[in-house]
Structure 1
């Protein structure tokens, strides 16, 4: 199979419509349909069911969609990392670290300081991502290493080292009745009609259904909580640096959050190795 064919198939499988996929790819529909048909003949199986109500993925098609995404991510990552290596050869090498905006800020600052103090440390470019984007950055090569948070972030396919485990707190506007409690339960937080939990975008950019406000970044969420329009359940470290307009209360039955440092297993980088050593030493 060629990467061109895989790109064609992923577009059709995601849109489930030949016309939309063709427009997305910037090509005519007939050659796209022929390419998918040729791929099915060579594999000896149907990848898409064509019916009166449109296209649906077969079981084999679902497998190829998952595998094709991984292959295309690997190709893109190889290109990006090769280009960065070429740039690094002409000057000081750099490593790209992805972290979720607003999370693990204290740990991240300590990590950067500790690594910078090591002899021969490379420059570290920090990329702050939205929720769940760090894994995507690692997969497609936009980052070399990332701070991920179990059980929320997908760590499958990466090498990891655990850095710390912590409970969770709910962030509320100052003066809210729950703010005076020593702790709350998760059901109490999720059932607040006046302070709904926020809705973060999915990888495809759409938002899940629900009453909570749509948010895209930590700054927006903080302002909504201050205004009394939302609350948020975050790792305990998220209480660091809270303004006087906000308060944090432990959520006694929320799952613990484990922060890990993660990197692709095929990556061979002394800079990443040094950064991981500095992180585990903390």
Structure 2
């Protein structure tokens, strides 16, 4: 199969409409239809169920969609990494989510810069869902991801830090002085709904909460009394006095991980990961074990 055919199929499988897929690919519909038919004949399978009202994927089509996305990501990643490898000055691109892991990242960059042979590190600050995508498509060499919010499948990773979560409320809210809240109580806040973040395709899930695009927009909405948010505890340092922080002991713990492509042979990535592990070991020796919120803080 050619990458061109895979791109054609992914467009049709995602749009489930030949006309929209053809517009997305900036081509006419008849040659697109013929290309998909040739692909089906070559594979000897039916990829799409076609009828006048709708197009649906067959089981074989669903499998090809998953594999085609991975293959196209790998091709794109190879292109980006090959071009960076040929650059006159060696460097590394690190992706991180806006507002997350700020103190940890600063310590890591300072420690790595002091290492012999350290290369320049370009830090790319991403919006929701973008960090993982940049690492998968090769635009980033390494990333700081947050489990369980980011998917680490397919990457090599090292855990760096685990912490509890808090709910962020407007400072004047009646619950702002609570010692702790449960996730059930947070979800029941009809006057302060949780925000809705965009999906990978740009659409938003249904719900009463406001649509948000970035951390700055979210904190402003909270300040105005239009939303609340559950965040890693470390983000409290970036909030203003007009926000209130309440621990949520039963919220899932958040783990910051450093992630990189599997089977990487990059010395720069290896050195950065080694530096991160050294920092982690130093923190473990200096600090008491990380504990979840006890509920009486």
Compute the TM-score of the two structures, normalised by the length of structure 2: 0.92
Partner of 2:146: 149
Q: Distance in 2 between matches of 1:272 and 1:179?
A: 43
Partner of 1:219: 216
Query: What is the distance in 1 between the residues matched to 2:238 and 2:2?
Result: 51
Give 1:266 shift: 3.3
Alignment-derived partner of residue 11 in structure 1: 11
Distance in 2 between residues matched to 1:124 and 1:5, nearest whole Å: 36
Q: Which residue in the other structure is 2:112 paired with?
A: 115
- Give 4+ residue runs of structure 1 displaced > 4 Å after superposition: none
1:97 is paired with a residue whose SS is: strand
Deviation string, structure 1 residues 22-50 (Cα, Å, up to 9, x no partner): 11111111111111001111111100000
Report the Cα distance in structure 2 between the residues aligned to 1:191 and 1:127, rounded to whole angstroms: 36
Give CA-to-partner distance per residue, 1:76-111, whole Å, 9 cap, x none.
Answer: 111111111111xx22x1111111101111111111
Matched, 1:38 2:38: yes
| Structure 1 Cα separation of the partners of residues 182 and 225 of structure 2 | 20
* Structure 1 position 175, deviation (Å): 2.0
2:137 equivalent in structure 1: 140
SS in 2 for 1:208: coil
What's the offset of the Cα at 1:267? 2.4
Deviation digits for residues 173-227 of structure 1 (CA, Å, limit 9, x no counterpart) = 1121221111110111111111111111000000111111111011111111111
State the distance in 2 between where 1:176 and 1:23 align.
49
Provide the residue aligned with 1:67 in structure 2.
67
1:159 is aligned, of 156, 159, 163, to 156
How many Å apart are 1:130 and its aligned residue?
Answer: 1.5
User: Separation in 2 of the partners of 1:9 and 1:241?
Assistant: 44
Partner Cα distance (1:111, 1:171) in 2: 27
Q: 2 CA distance for matches of 1:221 and 1:117?
A: 36
Q: Deviations over 1:217-275 (max 9, x none)?
A: 11111111111111110111111132111121110110111111101113221111111
How far, CA to CA, are the matches of 1:185 and 1:159 in structure 2? Answer: 33
Partner of 1:206: 203
Work out which of the residue numbers 174, 177, 193 in structure 2 matches 1:196: 193
Per the alignment, residue 2 of structure 2 pairs with 2
RMSD between superposed Cα atoms in Å: 0.9
Whole-angstrom distance in 1 between the partners of 2:8 and 2:179: 55
Cα distance in 2 for partners of 1:71, 1:202 equals 21
- Listed one character per residue, the Cα deviations across residues 143-184 of structure 1 (whole Å, up to 9, x for unaligned) are 111111111111000000011111100111112122111111
Aligned runs of 1:35-114 on 2, under 5 Å? 35-87=35-87, 90-91=88-89, 93-114=90-111
Please list every run of 5 or more consecutive structure 1 residues that lacks an aligned counterpart in the other structure. none
C-alpha displacement of 1:10: 0.3
CA distance in 2, matches of 1:149, 1:78: 25
In the TM superposition, what is the alpha-carbon distance from 1:20 to its structure 2 partner? 1.0
Q: How many angstroms apart in 1 are the aligned matches of 2:155 and 2:116? A: 27
- Indicate the SS of the match to 1:179: coil
Q: Does 1:271 align with 2:259?
A: no
1:114-154 Cα shifts (integer Å, max 9, x gaps): 11111111111111111222111111011111111111111
TM-score, normalization by structure 1: 0.97
What SS is found at the alignment partner of 1:164? Answer: strand
